[in-house]
Amino acid sequence: MNVLMVIFSQTGNTVKFAESISNSFSSQGHNVYLVTLNQFKPELLSSCQLIGVGSPCFNSQAPTPAKIFLRGLPLLKGKQAFVFATSGGAPGKVLFDMSLLLRRKGADVIAGLHTRGEVAYPAPALKGRFPGRPNQEDLRIGAAFAHYIMKKILHPANDDLIREFESHKFAWNFYSLMAYLITDGVIRLLMPKPNHLAQRCQKHGICQINCPMAAITLKPYPSVNQSRCIRCFRCVNTCPELARLLQWGWADWLIALVYNVPMERILGAIKPGDTVY
């Protein structure tokens, strides 16, 4: 079988997890095409029977770049699909978002899996969570996920297969419902806007290259299309001159209020026994 896996990744967590899934498919004798959103070409779809989409989780939901990609896909009738995601905060409805958009294109979504990834989001309340994740156990589960998918394709009526790998269905919980309220506009209102420090900037264009929304341009210099900014702060994290400054203030307190570890544990967003720091 030909398998197409398309991923959106910013810090490498999703890439690492995707590779464990991809290698597992390959070990079973399947041909795998693993590409990023920027590398994707629609003609790849014609030769692939199985499609996987992977992404990090932003604000308990699928990030805007992943949603834009999925909405732009052609019809996928007759294709089977799976979704996977990494997150440092509560995953909410990230898998459901991607699954829903694939189903709207006619794909049969058969499986979904979420794992943890080390947090790179620079908010003091979150930074450094789940160090070293995805770890070897996460990657082992990713490999098992690929085996599950193939068993599900071959034996769709087998009720003995592990339900953990079907978490792409909507779950009624606080974070899933909250995610509907956290639009990009709300995030722009609540999270700080990076301040540009012209005296430090060397105009390398690294921020422009790394912006997943193509919101930054150096001509005119420096120009940021604020209506496109999703406050992922990739421009802040990748600037070697530290030319973008964040002043968190009360925004960090708001994040800590919603995504604090005790609350996530009580609401089931963090599994029992899972180590956060």
Model pLDDT for residues 160-182, shown as the tens digit of each residue: 656 678 778 888 899 999 999 99
pLDDT at position 96 over 90: yes
State mean pLDDT over 144-163. Answer: 82
What does the alpha-carbon distance between residue 2 and residue 35 come to, in Å, rounded to a whole number?
14
The two structure tokens encoding residue 12: 């490498």
Share of the chain above pLDDT 90, in %: 88
Question: For residue 218, what pLDDT is reported?
Answer: 86
What does the alpha-carbon distance between residue 196 and residue 102 come to, in Å, rounded to a whole number?
38
Question: For residue 268, what pLDDT is reported?
Answer: 93
- Please give the torsion angle defined by the CA atoms of residues 61, 62, 68 and 73, in that order, rounded to the nearest 10 degrees: -130
pTM of the predicted structure, to 2 decimals: 0.94
Residues in the chain: 277
pLDDT digits (tens, 9 = 90+) for 198-245: 999 999 899 999 999 999 998 888 789 999 999 999 999 999 999 999
pLDDT at position 147 over 70: yes
The two structure tokens encoding residue 183: 């639009």
Question: For residue 170, what pLDDT is reported?
Answer: 85
Share of the chain above pLDDT 70, in %: 97
State mean pLDDT over 51-56. Answer: 98
Domains and CATH numbers, the chain: 2-171 (3.40.50.360), 184-266 (3.30.70.20)
Measuring CA to CA, which residue among 64, 79, 58, 2 is closest to residue 35? 2
